[in-house]
A and B are shown apart, each in its own frame.
Chain A
Amino acid sequence: MAGSTYEAAVVFKHVAGELDAACARLAHARDVDWVSTAASGYQAELATVRARLRAVARDVEDARQVVLHHTVAAETAVLDALGAPPDQLGQPLGWAREVSARLQP
């Protein structure tokens, strides 16, 4: 399991990248040239989507902190058990799986 902090960070970076791309694309969706009362309805729908994106982005950030807290705690426990230096924390450790197997209860 060691190295999970690194993996989790990679996953969250990917998710954040997709969210950023979605937000950037959404900004372009506002540029609609029409003369209609329906335009306000569209802008309202767009605002809803934008609000959801913001909420999801907040959830992702919350999840990132909680999950990384969890993986750091788990990795610290593993490193303590191995007597490995704490600076190995969060690194993509090549020996992680072998060590993890050795420590298997």
Chain B
Amino acid sequence: MTRVPAGTPAPVPDVPAPRPVMRVHGGAGGTRAHLEDLTRAAGVLRDVAEHLDAARRATAALDDIVEEGARWSPATTAAASHACQALTAPLGGLGSAALAARTTADSLDRAAQAYAEADTRVTRVLRAGLVATANLVGEAGPVAWLAAGALGAAGGSRLLAVRLLMRTPTPVGLAHRALAAIAMRGDGPVAVAARHLLGGRAVLPDWPETRYLEPLVDPVAAWMVGAMPGRSDLVSLVRDRDRGSMPTSQAATGLLGVMVLAALATGHRRGELVVAPSLRAEARPGAAETPPRDVADVVARIPDLYADHERPGELGDVAVTRVEQPDGSLSWVVTVPGTSSWSPFESTDPFDVRACLQEMATDPAAVERFAAMQAARDDVTATVVRAMDQAGIRPGEPVVIAGHSLGGIAAMDLAADPTLGRFDIRAVITVGSPVAAHDVPSRVQTLHLETSHDAVPTLDGRPNPDAPNRTTVTVDLEAGHAFGDAADTPSGAHAVGVYADAARMLRSVDHPSVVEFERHLGEVVGGPGTTASTTRYTGMRLPPG
């Protein structure tokens, strides 16, 4: 894993390094696995060997120099000749040192490969075991759920007792505090688990970094699939997918089905989607503005798109920014907000839970199963597409789409959709979005911004894939004091304002993947002399009838 301390000086030897603010994986600069370290070290050792070989080649000239001087100083020739031979000797010379470096590099490569294979196998077996067990508990019915819940509650109450005990001035409490202090210093998986169980400020454990929760997503989803009516297909649940999690997809499909059936049972009908220029006061269509220059500028536009909950009935907007280059050519920046309606039934707001589930149900078979009950495209992506059409985006004009949460998933969905070839989508920015299951063509550069304590990006149960066109940046909310108490709650860690702040920190990151993405984005949005104007659109479902 490549760690990039943003804006911090290089650590001084023997002084503990500052906690890295950002972790970057994927993209032009490398991949996420710790195994990358091994491969990188192997590359370094090969470089060492190259330098040694270059030195060995250079020493060949010394033989001639010594030989030339032999006529004039025969007494010193033998010693000089012997010294030169030592440098090129098969044992102990420069060449043999180069060979040793290369041999170690080969060992490292083999070790990395073996680790990767073993890691994959172990992960598959563990995941399959957990998923199968959770699914069987789900299938077993309410009694098994209660038993599992009782076990969980018993564990939780013990944990609570420990944390309460830690606050007492008793020998046991002091011992627990001492253990917690030790755990706070460690960095291994055991120390991390102990830190969350024993450490922290409150009686209840702190909200942990969500990368530690990601492995639980599959079992929980498998339990949900099992708990739903009908027999679940265990084989398909434990089968590994190239991208994303099958249990999550099936759980989302199942929940979607339940919601559709509930709507049918209650006579709730879906209204027709209408997309029109926004009527909100802050939407000033066509007004000249400062063009977006980088990721931070683009992400900064998203918070304003959410509906103000103080104003009843207000809906979120999709913004389409027209960027005109000095030569008259056009490019576009589309920004999309996330979920704003949590109603189980489809209301006037298309940015609802149902759209989330529809976006999470990425398994083709599951999607097909429910295709008859829902529109071919969810209303969020439909809103964005219509907004782009109404804004007048023409074929060949480069487009950047950025979205928060559900908006980010929709952005990935649009970039991957072959039927939308009329839009030349060049880059996608997602903030706080679960997009591991979404694939995009290699020509589309994507940057996924996540925070360390945001659970939403982990809902797909997998880390984002490492690919040259996919860069994931995880911002540590607990490093430094830039984010206040955002790490304390799931909602704080997912807040769009926190992401806007995190995006600004990208300006001080010099990781090659981030730099390359910013360069690519800069090519689309242009440099000095560009002008910009934004039109905002609102999607709304008209009440049926």
Q: Which residues of A contact B (CB under 8 A)?
A: 1, 4, 7-8, 11, 14-15, 18-19, 21-22, 25-26, 28-29, 31-36, 38, 42, 45-46, 48-49, 52-53, 55-56, 59-60, 62-63, 66-67, 69-71, 73-78, 105
Contacts and interface: CB of A to CB of B under 8 A. Distances in A.
A15 B59 CA distance: 7
A31 B77 CA distance: 44
B341 to A, nearest CB: 43
B264 to A, nearest CB: 53
Contacts of B59: 11, 15, 63
A74 B62 contact: no
B100 A52 contact: yes
Interface stretch (B47-55, B220-228, B325-333): B47-55
Interface string B202-242: 00000000000000000000000000000000000000000
Contacts of B115: 34, 36
| Range class of the B interface residue count | 35 or more
Interface stretch (B34-42, B143-151, B399-407): B34-42
B61 A7 contact: yes
A78 B66 CA distance: 14
A67 B34 contact: no
Given A22-B52, A33-B34, A67-B62, A49 B69 contact: no
Interface string B53-85: 011001101100110111111011101101110
26 contacts: A1-B72, A8-B65, A11-B61, A14-B55, A14-B58, A15-B55, A22-B51, A25-B47, A29-B44, A32-B41, A42-B108, A46-B104, A48-B100, A49-B97, A49-B104, A52-B92, A52-B100, A53-B97, A56-B87, A59-B83, A59-B87, A60-B94, A67-B62, A74-B76, A77-B72, A105-B71
A7 B80 contact: no
B111 interface: yes
A66 B69 CA distance: 13
A73 B87 CA distance: 22
Given A4-B65, A55-B92, A67-B80, A28 B37 contact: no
B459 interface: no
B111 A19 contact: no
The 7 closest A-B pairs by CB, nearest first: A74-B69, A70-B80, A73-B73, A63-B83, A74-B72, A18-B55, A22-B51
B97 A26 contact: no
A1 B71 contact: yes
Contact of A63 (B47, B86, B104): B86
Q: What DSSP secondary structure best describes chain A's contact surface?
A: helix
Contacts of A63: 59, 62, 80, 83-84, 86-87
Interface string B88-110: 00001110110011001001100
A51 to B, nearest CB: 9
Nearest to B42: A29
B415 interface: no
B373 interface: no
A1 B104 contact: no
Given A22-B52, A49-B97, A74-B69, A34 B37 contact: yes
A66 B45 contact: no
A34 B189 CA distance: 12
Nearest to B108: A42
Given A18-B52, A78-B72, A66 B83 contact: yes
A67 B83 contact: yes
